[in-house]
Amino acid sequence: MTTTTVPPIESTKPASEGAWRHQHVLDLDDFGRDEIETVLNLTDRMREVLDRRIARVPALRGHTVVNLFYEASTRTRASFELAGKVLGADVISLTASASSVVKGESLIDTVRTIRAMGSDVIVMRHSSAGAPYLASEQIGTGSIVNAGDGAHAHPTQALLDLYTMRKHFGDLTGKRVVMVGDISHSRVARSDMWGLAAMGAEVVVCGPPTLLPRGLRVGDRPAHAETGLPRVRVETDITKAIEGAHVVMALRLQNERQQGGLLPSMHEYALQYQVTAARLAHAHPEHLLMHPGPKNEGIEIAGDVASGQHSIIEEQVTNGVAVRAALLYLLCGGTATEALR
Ligand code: CP
């Protein structure tokens, strides 16, 4: 573990090849295309490392990554843990339920305590939107990564989604990406919208009116100032939405964030909005089917298509480790990719 006598990580330190200006990763709304491409290009290098028989490099030796999760996670937490270990960092994972949070310790005290032990990066998931922003204002040096804050943002999921799409299409400019489901409560949808907009993709969101963010109406292409979101097309008819789609992404109903009364019944929802083979027949013949997980087969996605020929859901999971390794490397001030040899 590093100590506080180690020079702090500079937020503006040039990292790897390409643009990088971030001390923290909180959402993608403040990422330019150049920085996203830096992450995605470096992710290619990380994939090479991960594909080796012994996937270990000392690039982050002497650095410490702390996973601080106030909410459940399988993919995000495990992939950050793996990513840190592959790069030689010390990785500690804490869950709120097994920490001094249960004794009443505040978020700010918890984050300051972890930082005082010399952590370089704190990867944080919290049920409250904005919690990682608050933490980032408190730590001074070091970095906060938002691993999901309420219904607000999930930038590392969006980056792995962008990477996975780019792997298949090369350039995302003009590609039509359709997200179907509980848009309103989906932090993945919000961060994906920002990332896809930055990469020049055309975004369509589709769901029942009760599960669309406030201010979005069918057919609207509203300006950011009106909705707090980038420009997207809105549909409530799934067949219209999917027409010609290059990517269809099914999103889980975030029951844990809904107040109730937003849907007549699960059965009704599945009938109208489940991503099925019949509906995907309207997409582009070479379309990709994605899902950030965890998925509920039989509700937002049919089991046969989830494991069908167009599905790249497991590829998303695999790429998640590489994207997170790239981010940890950049945040720790990695300046030379020789360390990855
Ligand atoms: N996609 C995602 O965030 O999955 P987990 O909740 O399992 O981390």
Q: Which domains does the chain have, with CATH numbers?
A: 15-153+320-340 (3.40.50.1370), 155-317 (3.40.50.1370)
186-199 pLDDT, tens digit each: 999 999 999 999 99
Output the average pLDDT for the chain. 90
User: Which pLDDT score is estimated for 264?
Assistant: 77
User: Which pLDDT score is estimated for 152?
Assistant: 95
Is the per-residue pLDDT at 161 higher than 50? yes
Find out whether the beta carbon of 320 lies less than 6 Å from any atom of ligand 1. Answer: no
Is the per-residue pLDDT at 119 higher than 60? yes
CA–CA gap between residue 341 and residue 329 (Å, rounded): 14
Q: Which of 76, 124, 187, 323 best tests ligand 1's pocket when mutated (most atoms within 8 Å of CB)? A: 76
Find out whether the beta carbon of 73 lies less than 6 Å from any atom of ligand 1. Answer: yes
Asked whether 333 and 23 are in contact (CB, 8 A), the reply is no
Residue of the CA atom closest to atom 4 of ligand 1? 75
Q: Which of 67, 68, 75 best tests ligand 1's pocket when mutated (most atoms within 8 Å of CB)? A: 75
Helical spans, DSSP H, in 97-236: 107-116, 131-138, 155-169, 187-198, 224-227
Q: Which of 67, 157, 159, 296 best tests ligand 1's pocket when mutated (most atoms within 8 Å of CB)? A: 157
User: Which pLDDT score is estimated for 224?
Assistant: 61
Split at pLDDT 50, 70, 90, the class of 8 is very low
User: Which pLDDT score is estimated for 5?
Assistant: 32
Atom of ligand 1 at shortest distance to CA of 76? 8
Find out whether the beta carbon of 157 lies less than 6 Å from any atom of ligand 1. Answer: yes
Atom of ligand 1 at shortest distance to CA of 293? 1
User: Which pLDDT score is estimated for 6?
Assistant: 29
| Contacts (Cβ under 8 Å, ≥6 apart) of 210 | 184, 262, 263
% of the chain exceeding 90 in pLDDT: 79
Is the per-residue pLDDT at 80 higher than 70? yes
Q: Which of 91-105, 153-167, 212-226 has the lowest mean pLDDT?
A: 212-226
For 174, what's the count of Cα atoms within 13 Å in the CB-facing half-sphere? 2
% of the chain exceeding 70 in pLDDT: 90
Q: Which of 41-45, 114-118, 254-258, 278-282 has the lowest mean pLDDT?
A: 254-258
User: Which pLDDT score is estimated for 240?
Assistant: 96
Query: In this structure, what token pair is assigned to residue 60?
Result: 């982050």
**Mean pLDDT across the stretch 175-185?**
96
Find out whether the beta carbon of 110 lies less than 6 Å from any atom of ligand 1. Answer: no
Asked whether 119 and 142 are in contact (CB, 8 A), the reply is yes
Is the per-residue pLDDT at 78 higher than 70? yes
Residue of the CA atom closest to atom 3 of ligand 1? 76
